[in-house]
Structure formats: structure tokens, C-alpha cells
Amino acid sequence: MTRILVVEDEPAIRDMIGFALKQAGFQYDESEDAEQALAAVASGPPDLVLLDWMLPGMSGADLVRRLRGEEITAGLPIIMLTARVGENDRVHGLELGADDYVTKPFSPRELIARINAVLRRSVAVAGEQPIEFDGLCLDPVGHRVRTDGETLALAPTEFRLLHFFMSHPDRVYSREQLLDRVWGRGVFVEERTVDVHIRRLRKALAGRGYDRFIQTVRGTGYRFSTGN
């Protein structure tokens, strides 16, 4: 499930966006200002940010700059919502690092279309970069996992699982969520199947001690994290 963070101070617009997102099958969180948004992002980065240009307090532009500055959120796709139509402002917004912009008033369909377009692009671009944690390196393009020197042999599902975890570190996922995002929607398997694959992945990662990255959160699910 794709998670979208909406940063918008005007309740009416927020509701409309929320409705459109729900219709389109996105999961979303809402923030009324930049501070709330930063907190939300810190507690777990979404897959995309919908950001109003005009916000009380810290402006949308400032928020973009902040997000781009942080290591973790530097690649986060951002779509600006703006009432301004001048070419200058548009260029300015894009220069700051937004991936796209939508001018008010906009139709829900246009919004969804742009979200999908940006997500496609960001997946295509960001999805190709190798991901590394503490010497454990996953290369999506070459479809390999390396630990200082040696290449691990992972079964397809193990690879997808690890790939998902390393793309979303420090977040707990329930078995149901993992089934959705690693196995795919509409696939019906027992939830306990996840446990077995976690076990297999851990076994593959062990030996070099990397199994400690796959953590159990009792009563909730599993998490990938280099700390604890």
C-alpha cells in the first residue's frame, strides 16, 4: 500500500484530497503545517508528499529544502500544490526540488494522474540504486546481495522480502502488510507463511551476523533495522 502524506492547512481541500486518495486506493496521513509534517515524516517516511505551497509558519518551500537536506528523505517524491500560475513560481518550485506541481483549482483525476506519474518515475530512478546497511548491500539491478566480498544465495521470495525491508528500514510491518507488499495483493496464503520466510531469510543472513537486522516485534510484526 502506497502511503501519501498530505500537508495542507485548509480543511476543505484536505478533505477533498483525502477522498480522492482513498478512492484511488492510497493510504494517507494528514498534516496541517510544516512542523506536523516533519514529525510525521520522522516517525516513518511516506512514499510521496503532497505539499501546499502556502502554509502558516514554515512555508512549503522551506519544508522542501529541509526534506531534501536530510539523508533519508532526500529522494522522497514531492508534489507541490500551488495557487500561483506564474512561470517564475513554477520554475522556482521545481528548482527547489519538487518533482511536480499541481495548480489550484485541480481535479481529483489530475491529481491522481500526477501522483501515479511521479511514483512511476521515482520508482524507476530510486528503485535502481543499491541499498547498503553496515556492509550488507543489495543491488536491485543485478539482483544480488553482497556481504563484504561474498554473494548470498537467496531464493526469489527471500530476495523480495529483504529488498522490501531494506527499502523501508526502521518500520514495523504486520504479516498482512508484508503479504500485501512482498507477495502482492490478491495472493491468499497463511499469515504464518511470513514467519517461515523470515526464518529462511535470517538463516541466509546469519553466519555473518546480519540476521540481527531482521527483528521481531512481538504482537505486531517484523522490522528491518541496524539498531534495536
Partner DNA sequence: TGCCGTTGTCACACTATTGTAACATTGCTG
Partner DNA sequence: CAGCAATGTTACAATAGTGTGACAACGGCA
- Rounded-to-integer distance, Cα 33 and Cα 53, Å: 11
Chosen from a copy of itself, DNA, none, partner binding at 190 (C-beta under 5 to 8 Å by type):
DNA
- Rounded-to-integer distance, Cα 138 and Cα 143, Å: 8
Chosen from a copy of itself, DNA, none, partner binding at 158 (C-beta under 5 to 8 Å by type):
DNA
Q: Is 189 in the site for a copy of itself (CB under 8 A)?
A: no
The residue count for binding DNA (CB under 7 A) is 25
CB 144 to DNA: min, Å:
12
Provide the angle, in degrees to the nearest 10, between the axes of the packed helices 192-205 and 156-167: 90
Q: Is 184 in the site for a copy of itself (CB under 8 A)?
A: no
- Give the list of residues 6+ apart from residue 66 with CB closer than 8 angstroms, or none: 34, 38, 58
Q: Which stretch binds a copy of itself (CB under 8 A): 38-46, 54-62, 168-176, 196-204?
A: 168-176
CB 35 to a copy of itself: min, Å:
25
CB 43 to a copy of itself: min, Å:
25
Among 151, 190, 199, 203, binds a copy of itself (CB under 8 A): 151
- Give the list of residues 6+ apart from residue 16 with CB closer than 8 angstroms, or none: 108
Summarize as ranges the residues that interact with DNA (CB under 7 A): 153, 155-158, 183, 187-190, 192-193, 195-200, 202, 216-221
